[in-house]
Copies of this chain bind each other. A is one copy, B any other.
């Protein structure tokens, strides 16, 4: 149930609407914790019901911006420092890699080169973000500083995977694949 805390954390930066938050969950966050708007609106209503957030303002087109409450701030802080970190990974592309021996060698080569390309492109995107932050485009607030740290993880993670895919392509199949 981390979407809850994801929303609280984002609202700790300042008031935002469900639409805004869904946007945030698509850009940087989309790569590390995807969430679609149905879940977001539902969770916002639940959080408001519990008094962890409250309506900050209503705007055009039924827009409702929420603000975090003191109770909400306390909740996210306690989550950050007291609850156990979940290190679970669920990486389909690694599950696939276990079964490379079932693939035709040519298919596999093609697959790995596409994978390397994908990861390299993702790394480049994160790197671009990092460069913009370092140029000061997003300011120097503590929030953007933390975002910078998160983005760095994105860069390193995807670079490592791109290199892995390139390396994997050099591993001989060891035996006929049947």
Contact = CB atoms under 8 A, between A and B. Distances in A.
Interface stretch (A15-23, A57-65, A93-101): A93-101
Size band of the interface chain A makes with B: 35 or more
A94 B3 CA distance: 13
Contacts of A148: 171
A79 to B, nearest CB: 8
B153 A95 contact: no
B89 A141 contact: no
B164 A156 contact: yes
Interface string A73-116: 10011001100011111111111111111111001000100110
A47 interface: no
A15 to B, nearest CB: 16
Interface in A13-58: 28-29, 31-34
Contact of A142 (B101, B142, B150): B101
A161 B157 contact: yes
A98 to B, nearest CB: 5
Interface string A128-170: 0000000000001111011111101110110111011001100
A25 B150 CA distance: 29
Given A34-B88, A153-B168, 15 more contacts: A10-B98, A32-B90, A32-B94, A81-B104, A87-B118, A89-B89, A97-B153, A98-B147, A101-B142, A140-B174, A142-B177, A145-B171, A149-B168, A152-B167, A156-B161
